[in-house]
A and B are shown apart, each in its own frame.
Chain A
Amino acid sequence: MPSLGADMEAGTLVEWLKHPGDTVKRGDIIAVVDTQKGAIEIEVFEDGTIESVRIRPGEKVPVGTVLAMIRGAGAERPLVAADTAPVPASVPEVPSPPAAAPLPQTAPREESRRLRTSPMARKLAGELGIDVTRIEGTGSQGAITREDVERTAATLKPSVLPQPKPSAARLGDMRGAIAAAMARSKREIPHYYLSTIIDMSTALAWLRAENEKRAVTERVLPVALLIKAVGLGLREVPELNGHWIDGAFRPGAGIHIGCAVSLRGGGLVAPALHDVDTMDLATLMRRLADLVARARSGSLKSSELSDPTITVTNLGDQGVDAAFGIIYPPQVALVGFGKISERPWVGSAAIEARPLLTATLSADHRATDGHRGGVFLTAVDRLLQTPERL
């Protein structure tokens, strides 16, 4: 069960999309897991063949539990567990060998079980669509009786096909998860805060002209410029991009920006937009729109939740001037944007009305000092003055 963020403790397997014997490639979606952030598609991080699955639909297991075993494509890594998303938590990259987690039901046991199922019970189980190996027998020598089947039918069915949680319950879970992550952040991370005012007139004029040329489906919002500028700024100050784990900074494998998305009806997720620094604006905008839509409909991918290397929050639409955020652990920085609004600005010779934006940085003082944070915000400002190069 991959960790889909510092605030996740357990997940419920909804369904397997791949089965023993299936060949899988890195990035394939092999399962769906229900979490407080919605139903998440679990991606596999190894090429290979599914050897066995260990968790059944409906089971809720803690983060780190082996979900399935995969036989690697190469001979050098015979078996890897399917939950080895490169999470920034303290989950080992390759979990312990298969022997570590005893299987509740091994093949031989299933075989002997079957022998101790009465024909009547077996028939009833078949009619009710229940796998007899899931039934606890109470007859002599553990034989499965008709009563056992009926009892299991009553208790098992709801958990076999987990119903979508009512939104109020989901929201309660999410609130709890946010509370835990934010409290941990404030307890452990010595934050420092910086802010700078950015003149957005050049960027907005450029964007307006660009959007005039573009069909409605291709138009770009100012927030895409901001995210791209953050991505390029992080190339210059890479020590803000990564995680603080076990007393040391670990640089991110790429620039994967967690975009804080508020959910309609309450709650918040910050899934990653991957490799922001390498995407052109049109691609970035398309992916961002897709990410926001999937965050709101509750269909994100595991990697999007597990590997953001920094978070960006844009509260400008809500009309705030500036947003000083709380870092999402174990990340080491969060960039906040307020609204872009016309304000007085001292131009070359006079005071002029210009569209201004306050950008802020909350950063972990264990990983960086204010000086480097300032270099980063200055870089974001400079990058936004040449929008055509974003």
Chain B
Amino acid sequence: MTPDDIRHVILDALKRVAPEVDPASIQSGVSFRDQLDLDSMDFLNFVLALHERLGIDIPEVDYPRLYSLESAVEYLTSPLQRPDSWA
């Protein structure tokens, strides 16, 4: 998966918790919580959606790295997070 694919996966996952949000309006460097009024349940559902789509178990300690689009793309494309099957 390319960073662009990952970006799409993230935006899809966000769409599931905040269906009314226009993906084009999301600012890359600003936290999702601040932009989209997500609560902790929404955020958990966002992580669950990523889990379903990507098949990875994101540990709780890494949650802060998913707080914005920019950092989430970076985190999810890092080699550590990338199973061989993605290549």
Chain A residues within CB distance 8 Å of chain B: 208, 211-212, 215-217, 219, 221-223, 262, 264-265, 288-289, 292-293, 316-318
Cβ 8 A contact of B48, one of A216, A264, A317, A318 = A216
- Complex CA–CA separation, A163 to B60 (angstroms): 42
A-facing mask of B17-51, CB < 8 A → 1, else 0? 01110000000000000000111110011011001
In the complex, per-residue mask of B48-72: 1 if CB is within 8 Å of any chain A CB, else 0:
1001000001111100000000000
B51 engages A317 (CB within 8 Å): no
Count of chain B residues with a beta carbon within 8 Å of a chain A beta carbon: 18
A216 lies within 8 A of B47 (CB) = yes
Q: How far is the CA of A308 from the CA of B47 in the complex (A)?
A: 30
CA distance A316 to B33 in the complex (A): 13
A212-B59, A265-B20 known; A219-B40 Cβ under 8 A: no
Query: Are B41 and A289 in touch, CB under 8 angstroms?
Result: yes
Q: What are 29 A-B pairs with beta-carbon distances under 8 A?
A: A212-B59, A212-B61, A216-B47, A216-B48, A216-B58, A217-B48, A217-B51, A219-B44, A219-B60, A221-B40, A221-B41, A221-B44, A222-B40, A223-B41, A262-B39, A264-B18, A264-B19, A264-B37, A265-B20, A288-B41, A289-B44, A289-B45, A292-B41, A293-B45, A316-B40, A317-B38, A317-B39, A317-B40, A318-B39
**B residues less than 8 Å from A217 (CB atoms):** 48, 51
Chain B residues contacting A221 (CB-CB under 8 Å) are 40-41, 44
Complex Cα distance, B41 from A316, in Å, reads 12
Q: A215 touching B57 by the CB < 8 A rule?
A: yes
| Residue ID in chain B nearest A167 by CB atoms | B20
Is there an interface contact between A208 and B60, defined as CB atoms closer than 8 Å?
A: yes
A221 to B40, CA, bound (A): 8
A223 touching B51 by the CB < 8 A rule? no
Given A216-B58, A223-B40, 19 other A-B contacts at CB below 8 A?
A208-B60, A211-B60, A216-B51, A216-B57, A217-B48, A219-B44, A219-B60, A221-B41, A221-B44, A223-B41, A262-B39, A264-B20, A264-B37, A288-B41, A289-B41, A289-B44, A289-B45, A316-B40, A317-B40
- Which chain A residues lie closer than 8 Å to B61 at the CB level? 212
Closest 10 CB pairs of A and B: A317-B39, A216-B51, A211-B60, A216-B57, A292-B41, A317-B40, A221-B40, A215-B57, A216-B47, A265-B20
Residues of A with C-beta under 8 A to B58? 216
Chain B's closest residue to A291 (CB) is: B41
The answer for the CA separation of A221 and B60 in the assembled complex, in Å, is 11
A208 to chain B, nearest CB (A): 7
Q: How far is the CB of B52 from chain A (nearest CB, A)?
A: 9
**B residues less than 8 Å from A318 (CB atoms):** 39
Which residue of chain A is the closest to B44 with respect to CB atoms? A221
Q: Which residue of B lies closest to A289 (CB)?
A: B41
The residue of chain A having its C-beta at the shortest distance from the C-beta of B33 within the complex is A317
Residues of A within 8 A of B19 (CB): 264
Most buried by B among A262, A264, A265: A264
Closest residue of chain B to A288 (Cβ to Cβ) is: B41
**Minimum CB–CB distance for A265 against chain B, Å:** 6
Cβ contacts under 8 Å, A289 to chain B: 41, 44-45
Distance of A54 Cα from B44 Cα, bound (Å): 44
Which residues of chain B come closer than 8 Å to A222, judged between CB atoms? 40
Residues in A whose Cβ lies below 8 Å from that of B47: 216
Q: How far is the CA of A82 from the CA of B37 in the complex (A)?
A: 40
C-alpha spacing A212/B59, complex, angstroms: 7
Which chain B positions have C-beta within 8 A of A288? 41
Residues of the B chain whose Cβ atoms lie less than 8 Å from the Cβ of A317: 38-40
CA distance A311 to B45 in the complex (A): 23
Per the bound structure, the CA–CA distance linking A318 and B18 in Å amounts to 16
Residue of B nearest to A223 (CB): B40
| Cβ < 8 Å to A, chain B residues 1-31 | 18-20
A265 vs B36: C-alpha distance when bound (angstroms) = 11
Complex Cα–Cα for A265 and B19 (A)? 10
Most B C-beta atoms less than 10 A away, residue of A208, A317, A318: A317
Give the docked Cα–Cα distance between A316 and B61 (Å): 20
Complex-state Cα separation, A211 to B51, whole angstroms: 15
Return B4 CB to nearest CB of chain A, in Å: 24
